[in-house]
């Protein structure tokens, strides 16, 4: 049986590392970092870890709001969504995930665009 991306990343520990790298990239990016100025980053990282666990084939432990509810009123643009998705892809590359598997994760994330982008 082929290992899931979640397993390839090292399970929970690997996901935590991915989330840390991801938010380093996001918070360094002036195109989007202002969106996180008043955000409880510890809470957001927990939610992101649960989402990434699910998106990479691990157990679904996400118990937060729907993506639409969580992003309501944030006025996220398609460009901002794409920037965040590119940082996710870059994170997975840093962690040596194979390109075709990165594409699978990005496709999973792309399905959420309609729930996240509001302008």
Tell me if 71 is assigned to a ligand binding site.
yes
* Angle, vertex CA 83, rays to CA 81 and CA 84, nearest 5: 65
* Angle, vertex CA 41, rays to CA 116 and CA 22, nearest 5: 70
Q: Are 72 and 119 in contact (CB under 8 A)?
A: no
Tell me if 47 is assigned to a ligand binding site.
yes
**Which positions ≥6 away from 95 have C-beta within 8 Å?**
9, 14, 17, 18, 21
Q: Which residues participate in the annotated binding site for heme? A: 47, 71
Q: Which residues participate in the annotated binding site? A: 47, 71
């Amino acid at each position: 049986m082929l290992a899931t991306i979640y397993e390839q990343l090292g399970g929970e520990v690997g996901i935590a590392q991915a989330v840390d790298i991801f938010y380093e990239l996001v918070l360094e990016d002036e195109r989007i970092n202002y969106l996180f100025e008043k955000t409880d980053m510890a809470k957001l990282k927990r939610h992101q870890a649960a989402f990434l666990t699910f998106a990479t084939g691990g157990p679904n432990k996400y118990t937060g709001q729907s993506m639409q509810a969580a992003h309501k009123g944030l006025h996220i643009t398609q460009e901002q969504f794409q920037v965040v998705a590119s940082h996710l892809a870059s994170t997975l590359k840093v962690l040596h995930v194979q390109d075709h598997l990165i594409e699978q994760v990005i496709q999973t994330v792309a399905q959420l665009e309609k729930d996240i982008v509001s302008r």
